[in-house]
Amino acid sequence: MKIYSTMSREKEDLKTLFKDKIKLFVCGPTVYDDAHIGHGRTYISFDMIKRYLEFKGYSVFYLQNITDVDDKIINRSKERNIESSQLARKYEKRFIEDMATLNVTSVNYFARATDHMDEIIDQIQRLVDKGFAYVTETGVYFEVSKFDEFGKLSNRNIEELETHRIDIDDSKRSSNDFALWKNREGEEFAGEPVWDSPWGKGRPGWHIEDTAITEKYFGAQYDIHGGGLDLIFPHHDAEIAQIEAVSGKSPLVQYWMHTGFLNVSGEKMSKSLGNFITIRELLKEYSPETFRFFVLLTHYRSPIDFSEVSLHQAERNVSRIKNYIEALDEAIAAEYEKGNVSDNIAEILSLDESEIREELLGFNYHGTAYEAFDECVDQFFTSMDDDFSTPKAIAAIFPFIKQSNKDLEEKKVSIEDMLAVKHFFADVSEILGIDFLDYKDETSANDEALLEIIADVRAKLRAEKKYDLSDDIRDKLVQLGIEVSD
């Protein structure tokens, strides 16, 4: 399979440092507020990526940091007159709850920055000892000019280094140098969290926590580093400089993976524009499955435009797949009740649903006699092997569903192929993190019933020659992503 690496700007064959094992690190949240839908987009994407890698047979350890000490956290805690650690723990807990709700369950370990101060201080000291960092009265700084390849991930020059999370400080040798440690001993810092260090009481800069954490758990080099596109410069460039300088080894990782931006109705999401949406706010209106499917309908590297029309279409598509699985189950049950199955299959179908799922493994879905199904399976996995192209993989499903619904009605599908199809959708459910086999959803049933009522009302309006009103209802349904044909 191939993975696009931001470093090379091309798709590369997946080659791991250790056979069949992958170490994956993704930058985690700064926990000063509730997670927003942009966070959701990134972490759903990497959850899918880990799921698929494991499906392919790799053993994946997925590590994610939690930035629980930062200017944003400290400033917010001062506004609320509470301890910064109290604020951080509150939003860390809510973040992990939000991820669980979205079925983002694949992270093996969340590593807090504050639990790794010894590692952070040790890495800073080694950078000082090797001449890549220097000490001033305000803290410790990485001297960017000492690392010749700074900016090699972003392809930007040192002169372009922005001031994002970089303090303006006359004690620095260059304005481009970034903080590894911030001294916080003055009265103006009273009440802020501090730790003892060889350079005085203070706290770490932002960039250093990630490399200190990954060096502890993965060593100086590992397989995949992920995060949002906005983190490439300067954050990920800084990470590369820190760890490659201190270890003398290059590259830090084999593959850099970045998720595209999430916009809201064509505009960048921001509180000032009034279009800032938290995950919790979104889930008051839409199911976690709907949002997850919406995210996966766009390639993880591409920008994604959030709109209610797109969400409604995603909701309809999830229902369409579940409705097909329900029809498939009904066809399987009909054959079972008629006695048109072998003793072995009859024994399997007599089990409860969870046990049936386990037995589906015995029905191979590669190379069946069902031609339309074989095409779907081949396109799905070919797409997933091509840099996790979920939109193309998902697109392969719907033509098959359309054809298979006809085939089931005409009884053209054998019981063995039906069970193979169900096995395939069980695996698709696991890979995408959406349980399509669980279609017993009262809300979905109510939605279908409501649509039938609306269709009846429109038919009556047209019979009464009230075409304008009927067309107005149709147009509003189309805006919600619901296909209507007269």
Give dist(CA 61, CA 24) in Å, integer.
6
**pLDDT of res. 412:** 96
Q: Across 42-51, 168-177, 258-267, which has the greatest mean pLDDT?
A: 42-51
Alpha carbon distances (Å) from 77 to 36, 66, 88, 112, 202: 19, 17, 9, 18, 17
pLDDT exceeds cutoff 70 at 483: no
**Tell me: domain 2-305, CATH 3.40.50.620, correct?**
yes
**Distance (Å, whole) CA 211 – CA 140:** 16
Average pLDDT over residues 398-420: 97
CA distance 377 to 428: 10
Tell me the pLDDT tens digit for each residue of 111-142.
999 999 999 999 999 999 999 999 999 999 99
Give, as one character, the DSSP assignment of residue 108: S
pLDDT > 90? residue 169 = no
Asked if 322 and 330 count as a contact pair (C-beta separation under 8 A), the reply is no
Percent of the chain residues topping a pLDDT of 70: 95
pLDDT at 485: 67
What mean pLDDT is predicted for residues 224-237? 96
Pairing assessment for the beta strands 253-259 and 222-228 based on DSSP bridges = parallel
Indicate whether 448 pLDDT > 70.
Answer: no
Statement: residue 32 has pLDDT above 90: yes
Contacts of 30 (CB under 8 A, 6+ apart): 67, 70, 72, 73
pLDDT on residue 349: 94
Which is higher by pLDDT, 30 or 479? 30
- CB neighbours of residue 438 within 10 Å: 12
Average pLDDT of the residues of the chain: 93
Specify the pLDDT at position 228: 96
**Rounded to two decimals, what is the model's pTM?**
0.89
Three-state secondary-structure class, residue 225: strand
User: Residue 182 — pLDDT band, cuts 50, 70, 90?
Assistant: very high
pLDDT value at position 167? 58
pLDDT tops 60 at residue 364: yes
Contact 306, 264 (CB under 8 A): yes
Residue 366 has pLDDT above 80, yes or no: yes
d(CA 376, CA 379): 5
Whether 58 shows a pLDDT value over 90: the answer reads: yes
| Residue 442, pLDDT score | 43
The answer, yes or no, to whether residue 166 has pLDDT greater than 90, is no
Q: Is the pLDDT of residue 165 over 50?
A: no
pLDDT higher than 60, residue 389: yes
Whole-number pLDDT of residue 360: 93
Average pLDDT over residues 445-464: 77
453: confidence class by pLDDT, cuts 50, 70, 90: confident
The answer to whether 228 touches 27, Cβ cutoff 8 Å, is yes
Res 268: pLDDT: 83
At 291-314, the pLDDT tens digits run 999 999 999 999 999 999 999 999
Q: How far apart are CA 333 and CA 415, in angstroms?
A: 10
Confidence grade of residue 431 (pLDDT, cut at 50, 70, 90):
very high
Per-residue pLDDT at 314: 97
Segments making up each domain of the chain, as ranges:
2-305, 309-432, 442-479
Give residue-wise pLDDT tens across range 253-294.
999 999 999 999 888 887 667 788 999 999 999 999 999 999
